[in-house]
Amino acid sequence: MEIFVYRKGADEIEEGFTRDDLPGLLKDESNVVWVDLQGETPEKAREAKDLLINVFNFHYLTVEDCLETRNQPKVEAFPDYFYFIVHGVKTETHSGNFVTKELDGYLGKNFVVTFHVERFRSIKKVKSQIRSNTFACQRGAAYLLHQILDQIVDYYMPVVDDFDNAINDLEERVFRMRKGNTAILEEIMDLRRAVARLKRISARQLEVLYRLSHGEFPQIPENVLPFYRDVHDHLLRISDLAESYRDLVSGLFEIHFSVTANRTNDVMKVLAIFSAIMLPLSLVAGIYGMNFENMPELHSPHGYYLTLMFMIVIAIVLLFYFWRKGWIFEPEEPPAETMIEDNNEK
């Protein structure tokens, strides 16, 4: 447990307070108090539960939600405070495995309480900021909470960029694919699940920030609302990108199956052409393989060689015909970028 206190007019943040100091600190409404609770061990979780219920007198159901780690983002209003849940991005998150961690919190008139089981880079960064500069605390508890939420949302952006790079890379690999590739299909499946989770979390969190930024809660002064709307706009952009990524990943499935089907069609075309060439040759061989005595050239000393030459001519004529039709030996079209560069050089 860490307690940060800003006293009005002070030049620095005070730390080192204990649970017993909190009632007196909260009683002075000119103070801004931030209590950061960690539930990494059962002992710390029990200490946090005791503090939330017996010192802050928070609703018992919110404390239960606080101690659990499988809740969706939400916000609930109470007479003197509101309770919220948001999700931050884990450090091991990447495009194939989007995972989040839960941050629970309360905002009152002059206090912010945060609870988390896992460590947050955003929490650590805000602590560092207020230790070096008291500006965020000078503007009140609501602005301090805004700083925390802003940092949480900012850490989504590198993940979103990672999704963009992963989709572009997969598109190139799918187009270069020469045969069905199960590994690429598995990567597309992992990417689809990760994008779906990003969309689901960002959509629910967007609703929380919308309510916080539109004056629904009296604990957030009107002059601080524009800062919350700015965070909401950032998350809205992330949510819109997640929606577009979901469409792109669905397109990757269609492209993968189309490429696989085209490769199969190429194989079938080669087999069909081979069969078309062999059919007349088999016909000629079958005719001269019959056991009739009265057949032209059957006893000719040059009949065998003439028949072979005739079959070779048939094969060559058929190959030439298929080539003129464009069914075989088709040259690959150069990429559009290469054609543009050639035209520019001319």
Q: Report the mean per-residue pLDDT for the chain.
A: 83
- In the predicted model, is pLDDT for residue 84 greater than 90? yes
Confidence of residue 344 (pLDDT cuts 50, 70, 90): low
Mean pLDDT of 126-154: 90
Tokens representing 327 are: 């069914």
Q: CATH 3.30.460.20 region(s) of the chain?
A: 2-256
Q: What is the pLDDT of residues 163-187, one digit of tens each?
A: 888 888 887 877 777 666 677 778 8
Those residues whose C-beta lies under 8 Å from the C-beta of residue 53, and which sit 6 or more positions away, are: 60, 63
Q: Are strands 32-38 and 111-116 parallel, antiparallel or unpaired?
A: parallel
- In the predicted model, is pLDDT for residue 340 greater than 50? no
What is the predicted pLDDT for the residue at 325? Answer: 75
Confidence of residue 315 (pLDDT cuts 50, 70, 90): confident
Looking at domain 2-256, which CATH architecture does it have? 2-Layer Sandwich (3.30)
What are the contacts of 16-24 at 24+ separation with CB within 8 A? 19/51, 19/55, 22/51, 22/55, 23/55
Mean pLDDT of 39-57: 87
User: What radius of gyration do the chain's Cα atoms show?
Assistant: 35
Q: What is the pLDDT of residues 268-287, one digit of tens each?
A: 877 888 888 888 888 888 87
What is the predicted pLDDT for the residue at 336? Answer: 45
- Highest mean pLDDT: which range of 89-93, 179-183, 215-219, 269-273: 215-219
Confidence of residue 267 (pLDDT cuts 50, 70, 90): confident
